[in-house]
A and B are shown apart, each in its own frame.
Chain A
Amino acid sequence: MFTLSHIPFLISIVLYLVASVWSIGHIVKPDIFNKKVARWSTIMGFLIHSGYLVFLGINSNSIPITNVYESFVSLLWCVLFVFINIDYLYKLPSLDTFLMPLVAVLSIWALTFDKSDMLITVSLQKFWLVAHIIPIFIGYAAFTISFSLSVMYLTQQRQLKLKLFGRLFSKLPSLEGIDKLIWKTISFGFPLLTLGLVFGTFWVKTQNILGEMWYLDSKVILGLATWLIYAALLHMRLVASFHGTKIALLTIAGFCFVLFTFIGTFFIGSKHAFQKVSNTTPHIEIMGANKQHYSQ
């Protein structure tokens, strides 16, 4: 069951759902669904979401990634943060129509992880962990937006190919405009992902966090695979100057890897510095705040 502390995040989810419905509705029935409602719901949801993160941070006395749920909530905050900035800078029409439903669904999914007993087993005050997590999260956020843009690209391409010149066609931007922004978000996210992986590797090697066979951790392997996909994308674009459908499809594949690396690995048994509390042995350091959280 949800407790009082969940209320801010639940309100954010409701606002993200409103933003999703209104941004889709604006395309179908623009006279009923005002675009401003979608925009303000997103901003209000984001502000409440930000406040919730601050609350979680104060509660655990660290950056709010002490368990899978908090990590998910933080990642979603990064997605919205990057989106609001991109929306302000590039004003690409209808991007919210493709992003907000994804944010709303991921937020609801994040809620299901709240009862997860996977807690982080290392101190979050350590510089290397922060240097590992934050760039990767912002990079993932940029890839989430490039995923939405790719879906938008393929949708508009389908409209053009099938000669469906309805409201959706008129509301979506040009293929070239979407393609350029896909490229920008990937070239923004990739260096951050690289940086995060380099810091993570350095940290795991020096601190022996994942043991001697750290490179066999599924999250590490998938993280590398994700990096390779985006590296291939960059290569295709920079060296071979590729545009269009192939880039969009590969971006979608890249995001699937992002999602699987981030959350799916827990289903296949990877711990990656998270540990089930019931199995925790005395020599593993679990932060006091985490224990407190679990006892709630």
Chain B
Amino acid sequence: MSILVVGLNHKSAPVEIREKLAFNNNSVSSALSLFTQKYPSSEAVILSTCNRVEMYASSASDAVKLEDILSFLAEFHKIGENEFSQYMYHYKDDRAVTHLFHVSSSIDSMVIGESQILSQVKEAYTLACVEESTGKILNQLFQQALNLSKTIHTNTSIGQGKVSISSVAVEFAEKIFQDFTGKMVLVVGAGEMCELLLKHLYEEGARTIIVANRTFERAQAIADAFQGQAIKYELLGEYLSKADIIITSTSAPHYVIHTDQVKEAIKHRRGNPIFLIDIAVPRDIEPGVGNIDNVYLYNIDDLQTVVNQNIDDRTREIEKCREIIEKEVEHFMARLEQIKIEPAITLLRNNFHSIGKDELNRLRPKLKNINDEDWNQVVYTMERTLNKLLHHPAKVAKQEARNGGGYRYVETIKKLFGIFHYHPEDSNK
């Protein structure tokens, strides 16, 4: 009984290769269905995101090997195995478990600590459950991975601190304004970053959006996308005192918002703050603006510094996460050894009860005068005796199996009690 993972990710393969092997929800379902038809005694889960494609498989007695998965992927995607095999990584048993735990805890992600991977792992597992391609092993593995991920995010700072420019800018805005409802957002320029920032603010509740750009049509396009209003660039000055949040990203080679303008604007705001984000290079807002009372100005470097600091903080947490994962892997592998021995114990129990039943059948004709009530007592006593006899060895075997070498105990039980027809895969599902 083994666990195998074969896959590639943003670190091991370029996007041209990743996209060739990527699955969507429909293709995941059909692939799982085909895989379990081909290897009936195996379990499988496919995790496909924009940064990784991984196939997790478990089978008894190594029925599914690395080569089988590679050829299955090649066949399914109708590409040559040699096109992608060099980019693939593969791990087995405890290393495979460690890998999944790293993935689901997002310490293997492109953005360390991001929470999206958890929902992607959950979705992959749910799809596999729907396709009935999971069994005892992968059910336990994925459930533990999902729980562990939550534990890690709660007990470490791996997911804390924003790690993108736009989310950091929104976080700053949230330290100035309680909410964005009724706040006016003035966008000057029409850069891509500007749109991203606007999207974040819109998601957080900003609805009064004014866009000013030298090309009015471009301003109109952005304003339409966020149910805002486009204004002529020349009217910018009029809106400075009305706007609570100002985002600038023009390509102008000079300042477009000057200290005097903001000083004048803030007079009309009666102490209400203005939050300015200048994401343009060269800068759009005169640096002196930041010295005005109740005005808060941040440029791209300020935001990038915080992003870098947060990334560093998250990276420092990786070691703590690894330690937690290491312990969980040990627990899981111990549990796996227990799972391995369970079918042998079940078989042993069945064997004992079968012997007991035979003996009772032999005894019954000899006790002609026994009434039903007394006979039920005899049957009950026999079952109780057998259960008592088996209880201790089963308990010890399970405990010992947790320390490793589950198969050794399976073999011992088989030899001791003469069980020769035990196949672990019988109870795999």
- A165-B306, A165-B309 known; A242-B175 Cβ under 8 A: no
- A160-B296, A165-B306, A165-B309 known; A175-B176 Cβ under 8 A: yes
Mark interface residues in A66-92 (1 if CB within 8 Å of B CB, else 0).
Answer: 000000000000000000000000000
Partner of A160, one of B176, B270, B272: B176
Mark interface residues in B175-191 (1 if CB within 8 Å of A CB, else 0).
Answer: 11110000000000000
| Interface size class, chain B | 10 to 19
- A23 close to chain B: CB less than 8 A: no
- A245 close to chain B: CB less than 8 A: yes
B231 to chain A, nearest CB (A): 25
- B174 close to chain A: CB less than 8 A: yes
Mark interface residues in A139-169 (1 if CB within 8 Å of B CB, else 0).
Answer: 0000000000000000010011101010001
- A272 close to chain B: CB less than 8 A: no
Mark interface residues in B287-303 (1 if CB within 8 Å of A CB, else 0).
Answer: 00010011010100010
- A244-B294, A245-B294 known; A174-B178 Cβ under 8 A: yes
A91 to chain B, nearest CB (A): 13
A233 to chain B, nearest CB (A): 12
Could you tell me how many residues of chain A have their Cβ less than 8 Å away from some Cβ of chain B? 22
Which residues on the B side are within 8 Å of A169 (C-beta)?
Answer: 175
- A241-B270, A242-B270, A246-B271 known; A163-B176 Cβ under 8 A: no
Mark interface residues in B130-144 (1 if CB within 8 Å of A CB, else 0).
Answer: 000000000000000
User: Could you tell me if B298 and A243 are in contact, using CB atoms closer than 8 angstroms?
Assistant: no
User: Could you tell me if A244 and B175 are in contact, using CB atoms closer than 8 angstroms?
Assistant: no
- A177 close to chain B: CB less than 8 A: yes
User: Could you tell me if A176 and B294 are in contact, using CB atoms closer than 8 angstroms?
Assistant: no
Task: List residues 172-210 of chain B with CB under 8 A from any CB of chain A.
Answer: 172, 174-178
Which residues on the B side are within 8 Å of A159 (C-beta)?
Answer: 175
User: Could you tell me if A245 and B293 are in contact, using CB atoms closer than 8 angstroms?
Assistant: yes
B414 to chain A, nearest CB (A): 50
| B-to-A contact residues, CB < 8 Å | 172, 174-178, 270-273, 290, 293-294, 296, 298, 302, 306, 309
Given contacts A176-B273, A243-B272, A244-B272, 11 further A-B contacts (CB under 8 A): A159-B175, A160-B176, A161-B290, A172-B175, A174-B177, A174-B178, A175-B177, A176-B178, A242-B270, A244-B293, A244-B294
Pairs A-B, 6 closest by C-beta atoms: A244-B271, A243-B271, A177-B178, A176-B178, A244-B294, A242-B271
Q: List 12 A-B contacts (CB under 8 A).
A: A156-B175, A160-B296, A163-B298, A172-B175, A174-B174, A174-B176, A175-B176, A175-B177, A176-B176, A240-B270, A243-B272, A244-B272
| A-to-B contact residues, CB < 8 Å | 156, 159-161, 163, 165, 169, 172-177, 180, 240-247
